[in-house]
Amino acid sequence: MEIRQVVGSLVCTHRIAGLGHWDLRLLQDTKGKHYVATDPVDARPGDWVFVVSGSAARYAMGDAGILTDLTIGGIIDRWEEERAAAVEPTSATSATTARAA
Amino acid sequence: MKICQVERPLVSTNRIPGFEHKNLQVVRDGSTQQVAVDAVGCMPGDWVICVGSSAAREAAGSKEYPSDLTIVGIIDHWPPETGAAGSGGAG
Neighbours of A82 (CB within 10 A): 17
- Amino acid A96: pLDDT: 46
The closest alpha carbon to A57, from B75, B86, B69, B40, belongs to B69
A5-13 — which CB contacts under 8 Å span 24+ positions? A5/A29, A5/A46, A5/A47, A5/A48, A5/A49, A6/A43, A6/A44, A6/A45, A6/A46, A6/A47, A6/A48, A6/A49, A6/A72, A7/A34, A7/A45, A8/A45, A9/A45, A10/A36
Query: How far is Cα A48 from Cα A29, in angstroms, rounded to an integer?
Result: 10
Residue B4 has phi, psi (to 5 degrees) of -135, 160
Query: How many CA atoms are closer than 13 Å to the CA of A5, on its beta-carbon side?
Result: 12
User: To the nearest whole percent, how much of chain B has pLDDT over 90?
Assistant: 78
Of A54, A78, A93, the CB nearest to B53: A54
The reply to whether residue A1 touches residue B67, judged by beta carbons under 8 angstroms, is: yes
- Amino acid A5: pLDDT: 96
Q: Which residues pair with A75 in a beta bridge?
A: A49, B14
Average pLDDT estimate for B28-42: 93
DSSP B17: G
Q: Provide residues of B within 8 Å CB-CB of chain A.
A: 5-8, 10-19, 24, 26, 28, 33-36, 44-45, 52-54, 56-57, 64-69, 79, 81-84, 86-87, 89
DSSP A50: E
Give B-chain residues touching A25 at CB under 8 angstroms.
none
Tell me, yes or no, if the pTM score tops 0.90: no
Give A-chain residues touching B12 at CB under 8 angstroms.
50, 73-77
Which residues make Cβ contacts (< 8 Å) with residue B11, sequence separation at least 6? Answer: A76, A77, A78
- Tell me: the pLDDT tens digits for A59-88? 999 999 999 999 999 999 987 766 666 555
- Distance between B84 CA and the closest CA of chain A, angstroms: 7
Give the best residue of B2, B3, B11, B14 to mutate against chain A (max A CB count within 10 A): B14
The closest alpha carbon to A55, from A45, A66, A47, A46, belongs to A66
Q: Is the pLDDT of residue A95 over 60?
A: no
Residue A70 has phi, psi (to 5 degrees) of -150, 120
The reply to whether residue A93 touches residue B19, judged by beta carbons under 8 angstroms, is: no
Element (H, E) at A95: helix A88-100
DSSP B15: E
